[in-house]
Structure 1
Amino acid sequence: MRILLIEDSATVASQICEGLGLRGHDVVAVGDGAAGFERARATEWDALIVDRMLPSMDGLLLVKTLRSEGVRTPALFLTALGLVEDRVEGFEAGGDDYLVKPFAMAELVARVEALGRRESRLFSASQSLADLTIDRLARTVTRGDRIISLQAREYELLDALLTETPNVVTRTMLLERVWKIRFDPGTNLIESHISRLRSKIDVEGTAPIIHTIRGEGYAARLG
């Protein structure tokens, strides 16, 4: 991915460039809001990472102006402002995702890579993993010759996992994508749904596909 990072902290920018670079991504870092805005509108990027508090042009205005000009590049906001209203402001300005500082590099990488895949996912009518297939037009799921009946949340959960396969999807990402919740309620909501989904997908005699990755989240993968 070609990623534009607009972040005025040289230390944070260096860490992000290193973390994404280890994944093979090409990151260009800009430390000024106005300069970042010009780079974002002049070149095609796969994703933008934008700090909210920037010199010369703040991140909210930057993304909002890009959207008004028709630039649809997926944008992830970085900020120390973690209140619900702060997150809402970010999404209303046109941001696609929001990560509060300090953050784990693995979380940033997962979110940025998910944004990069978003456009292609919109045009993918179906997807398969081994003998498991999800048809997004018909909203049906099959494994081999077996038709699997899923409740709405179970379907969305499986779809979220398959679109990121074989990558790990964190709890926070699942809460945001499936339940539209932008905070962790501290319940076993995800665990109970994963358990029911696994009981329908990974029946006896089939290779496990739904995996719990301890300390990280969940993934749809073989083995």
Structure 2
Amino acid sequence: MHIKQHIPNFLTCCNLLCGCVGLVWLYEGDVEVAVYLIWLALVFDFLDGFVARLLRVHSPMGKELDSLADLITFGVLPSFILYKMLQQQEVDAWVPYLAFLVAVFSAIRLAKFNIDENQQTVFIGLPTPANAIFISSLIFVDGSYPSLLSYPVLLIITILFSYLLVSPMELFALKFKDFGWKGNEVRFSFILFSALSLLFFLHLALPMIVMMYILLSFFVKIISTT
């Protein structure tokens, strides 16, 4: 067996390792390191699929391993971050446990993705990496604008994004068949918006980028059906 067949799975395991180590850092009280590990895992998550396509070494095992890694890194770890944030609010002791709805619905989202062969150019429901980006970036919003993330807001975010994970909403995928403008207008526009937002607002732009992704997908769907 050629070693190149193992490269995508190795990258997926790096994603999983980031999630596991992130949980340790979060347990020890360093939320920022846990967030940075989520962002590092996003790079590995992109690379494993990119390399698999480049080397033409797709496998059923790779698909399953990818979802298992995503569940830990982009499902369980963001849930713990939300749990920590809710713990800091003046709420009943049981309320922070609602954060783990994100992990539950992430598992459902990934299971549905694995048995759906139609999610190539579009996703059905919010992808778990996008959900993880939004939730993980909230700690920086909380640090800069603490009054924005009150208990009701965090609870709404938990419920809303749990629903979005399994919703029937179609969201465009950032997968290019070619790099021409025609047919990729939405993708290029979104990438430009994301780049400019990051340039001006740095990590505080991440929640805006995810919200723009959701809204843009919503309007694209409306336009395509009219």
> Do both proteins adopt the same fold according to a TM-score greater than 0.5, normalized to the shorter chain?
no
The alignment's TM-score, normalised by the length of structure 2, stands at: 0.29
Structure label with greater radius of gyration: 1
The alignment's TM-score, normalised by the length of structure 1, stands at: 0.30
- The one of the two structures with greater contact order (alpha-carbon pairs below 8 A, sep at least 6) is 2
